[in-house]
């Protein structure tokens, strides 16, 4: 048989245990929704990260842990208002164990503590309610980590303007064939890379396409210039070798040779280094001093290079007969694919007249009334509108608004004489 102090201690422990249980349950109840929300957010982020192939670093785990702690703190703040005191726990024990308020009386020192036997807990955990938030939170996390997702970015390359790849391959081809110097190729590639470094959304913007077009034109212009210079040198070499060339002619040709060399040196697109050295050496020795074999070999080499350049120029741009206005040097009207010049392609409408003044505007003078230009004012006259005057306007009620003259128009005017005649004979 326990003494009163022992009983008091036992009941105090029981009340404390009940209070802890109730308060913990309140905290857990308030935690349920924030915990699920945090799990939902974490799961969603994981899903997003997997889709975008982001790595889940320490920052992610720190933030996730912090959010969980924050949810716990929020639940604590909410639950604290509902927590019960020790006195309220005694009241619960009184009420639930049917102790006839003996504990409240004993606590107020107005009565003895009731006997304490191994009593069952007055409140028990509900397994379903306890498991629900945890299961919900775990479900969200499992969804985040295990739900199959397709990566948002496929390894398919972005669609680039075709001109970039074509220009790059052209330059590459020229270098591979040993036609031009590599510095020029590097410069073009660098400019193309600058264009690629823009946002993908802007690759096809007007500014980007205009810059691409400008680069393309500059490249074509350089190829033309180099081709022209090489042809000039070749012609010079050919004329120097001619037996009819006088000394003065040869000096003039030497001068033309050096000018062409100077042009090639100053241009952006230079021939390959080996050729430049050979040409420079020839210019230094003097064209007269070159042997016939060396000159012919040089001529062949130059012709070969010029032909290759010519072939490259012909690809996609064409050297069409001028039938209209070309928008740039070396580009024929109506030819060259999507970058063709304005005007019609040659021979589109058959053979051109031999008198056609190609490539020039012909001004049409409109002063002669007999040969007016389109848009000239030829004549001004006043005419009267044809009005139907048969209608007399509003009339009083019951009056005929039409005298039936409309029918006249049908059989008198609209019918031809034979029809009128047969119609008349029918009514007669």
Partner 1 sequence: MEYANEAQVAEAQSHIKRLSEALNQVLYGQETLIDFVLNGVLARGHILLEGLPGLGKTELVKGLSKTLVLENKRIQFTPDLLPGDITGNPVLQETDGKREFVFQPGPIFANIVLADEINRASPKTQSALLEAMQEHRVTVLGQTHPLPKPFFVLATQNPIELEGTYPLPEAQLDRFLFKLDVRKNSVAALEKIVNQRELGVEPQVQAVLGQSHFESVIETVRRVYLPEVVANYIARLVDATHAGEAEATKAVKFGASPRAALSLASASKARAVMNGRGNASFEDVKLVAPAVLRHRMVLDYGARIDGATTDSVIEALLEEIPFQTTDTPRPLSAAQ
The binder of partner 1 chosen from 2, 121, 307, 327 (CB under 8 A): 121
- Tell me how far CA of residue 105 lies from CA of 4, 11, 99, in angstroms: 13, 13, 10
Virtual torsion, Cα 12, 13, 19, 22, nearest 10 deg: -140
Q: Minimum Å distance from CB 11 to partner 1?
A: 15
Among 70, 123, 147, 149, which residue interacts with partner 1 (rule: CB under 8 A)?
Answer: 123
The SS3 assignment for 271 reads strand
Q: Given candidates 126, 166, 409, 424, which one binds partner 1 under the rule CB under 8 A?
A: 126
**Contact range with partner 1 by CB under 8 A, out of 122-130, 162-170, 259-267, 299-307:** 122-130
Say how far apart CA 104 and CA 142 lie, in whole Å: 49
Q: Is 100 in the site for partner 1 (CB under 8 A)?
A: yes
Contact flag: residue 105 with partner 1 (CB under 8 A): yes
| Four-CA torsion 124, 128, 134, 137, nearest 10 degrees | -150
CA distance 239 to 245: 7
From the list 39-47, 117-125, 210-218, 342-350, the region that binds partner 1 by CB under 8 A is 117-125
Where b means 16+ CB within 10 Å and e means fewer, 291-327 reads: eeeebeebbebbbebbebbbebbeebbbebeebbebe
Positions in 32-91 near partner 1 (CB under 8 A): 82, 84, 88, 91
Asked whether position 168 contacts partner 1 by CB under 8 A, the answer is no
Q: Which is nearer to partner 1, 88 or 163 (CB)?
A: 88
Residue 7 engages partner 1 in binding (rule: CB under 8 A)? no
Decide if 369 contacts 378 (C-beta within 8 A). yes
Q: At 299, list the tokens.
A: 């001529």
Shorter beta-carbon distance to partner 1: residue 26 or 257 = 26
CB of 18: closest distance to partner 1 in angstroms?
A: 10
- Nearest approach, Cβ of 125 to partner 1 (angstroms)? 6
Question: Do the Cβ atoms of 127 and 135 come closer than 8 Å?
Answer: no
In this chain, which of 25, 47, 67, 313 binds partner 1, going by CB under 8 A? 25
Is there binding between residue 120 and partner 1 (CB under 8 A)?
A: yes
* Cβ contacts of 426 within 8 Å, gap of 6 or more: none
CB 111 within 8 A of CB 105: yes
Check binding of 8 to partner 1 (CB under 8 A): no
**Rounded to 5 degrees, what angle do the CA atoms 274, 276, 282 make?**
105
- Write out the two tokens for 327: 């928008």
Spatial distance between the Cα atoms of 224 and 168, rounded to a whole number of angstroms:
18
Least distance (Å) between residue 60 CB and partner 1: 31
Examine residue 92 and tell whether it contacts partner 1 (CB under 8 A). yes
- Closest distance between partner 1 and the C-beta of residue 4, in Å? 13
Q: Which of 48, 69, 95, 391 binds partner 1 (CB under 8 A)?
A: 95
Distance in Å, CB of 65 to partner 1, minimum: 24
Give the separation between CA 33 and CA 242, rounded to whole angstroms: 100
Contact by Cβ (8 Å): 112, 106: yes
Judged by CB, which is closer to partner 1: 75, or 298? 75
Q: Which of 7, 60, 111, 268 binds partner 1 (CB under 8 A)?
A: 111
Q: What is the smallest separation between the CB atom of 57 and partner 1, expressed in angstroms?
A: 36
Q: Which of 8, 104, 160, 278 binds partner 1 (CB under 8 A)?
A: 104
State which residue, 119 or 421, has the beta carbon closest to partner 1. Answer: 119
Tokens of 74: 């929020």
User: Is 94 a residue that touches partner 1 (CB under 8 A)?
Assistant: yes
Tokens 């109840």 sit at which residue? 29
Nearer to partner 1, 124 or 405 (CB): 124
Q: Rounded to 5 degrees, what angle do the CA atoms 393, 397, 401 make?
A: 40
Q: Which of 4, 52, 62, 129 binds partner 1 (CB under 8 A)?
A: 129
Size, binding site for partner 1 by CB under 8 A: 33
| CA dist 408 → 230, 362, 390, 403 (Å) | 88, 57, 12, 10
Q: How far apart are CA 277 and CA 84, in angstroms?
A: 100
Task: Using the rule CB under 8 A, give the single segment among 18-26, 202-210, 223-231, 338-346 that binds partner 1.
Answer: 18-26
Residues that bind partner 1 (CB under 8 A): 21-22, 25-26, 28-29, 82, 84, 88, 91-92, 94-96, 98-102, 104-105, 108, 110-111, 120-126, 129-130
């Amino acid at each position: 048989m326990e003494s009163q102090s022992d009983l008091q201690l036992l009941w105090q422990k029981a009340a404390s245990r009940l209070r802890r249980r109730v308060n913990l349950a309140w905290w857990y109840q308030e935690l349920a929704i924030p915990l699920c929300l945090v799990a939902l957010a974490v799961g969603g982020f994981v899903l997003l990260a997997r889709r975008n192939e982001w790595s889940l670093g320490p920052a992610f785990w720190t933030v996730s842990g912090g959010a969980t702690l924050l949810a716990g703190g929020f639940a604590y703040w909410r639950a604290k208002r509902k927590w019960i005191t020790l006195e309220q726990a005694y009241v619960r024990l009184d009420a639930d164990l049917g102790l006839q308020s003996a504990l409240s009386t004993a606590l107020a020192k107005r009565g003895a503590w009731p006997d304490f036997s191994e009593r069952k807990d007055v409140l028990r955990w509900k397994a379903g309610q306890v498991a629900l938030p945890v299961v919900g939170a775990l479900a969200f996390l499992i969804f985040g980590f295990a739900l199959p997702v397709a990566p948002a970015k496929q390894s398919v390359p972005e669609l680039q303007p075709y001109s970039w790849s074509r220009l790059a391959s052209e330059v590459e081809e020229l270098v591979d064939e040993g036609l031009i110097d590599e510095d020029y190729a590097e410069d073009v590639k660098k400019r193309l890379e600058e264009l690629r470094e823009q946002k993908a959304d802007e690759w096809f913007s007007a500014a980007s396409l205009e810059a691409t077009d400008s680069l393309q034109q500059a490249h074509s212009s350089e190829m033309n210039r180099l081709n022209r210079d090489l042809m000039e040198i070749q012609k010079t070499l050919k004329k120097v070798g001619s037996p009819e060339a006088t000394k003065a002619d040869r000096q003039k040709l030497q001068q033309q040779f050096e000018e062409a060399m100077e042009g090639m040196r100053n241009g952006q697109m230079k021939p390959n280094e080996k050729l430049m050295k050979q040409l420079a050496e020839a210019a230094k020795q003097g064209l007269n001093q070159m042997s016939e074999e060396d000159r012919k070999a040089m001529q062949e080499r130059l012709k070969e290079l010029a032909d290759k350049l010519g072939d490259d120029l012909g690809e996609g741009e064409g050297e069409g007969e001028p039938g209209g206005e070309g928008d740039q040097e070396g580009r024929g009207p109506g030819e060259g694919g999507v970058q063709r010049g304005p005007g019609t392609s040659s021979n589109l409408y058959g053979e051109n007249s031999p008198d056609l003044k190609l490539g020039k505007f012909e001004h049409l003078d409109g002063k002669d009334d007999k040969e007016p230009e389109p848009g000239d004012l030829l004549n001004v006259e006043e005419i009267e509108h044809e009005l139907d005057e048969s209608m007399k306007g509003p009339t009083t009620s019951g009056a005929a608004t039409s005298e039936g003259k409309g029918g006249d128009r049908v059989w008198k005017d609209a019918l031809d004489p034979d029809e009128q005649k047969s119609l008349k004979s029918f009514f007669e």
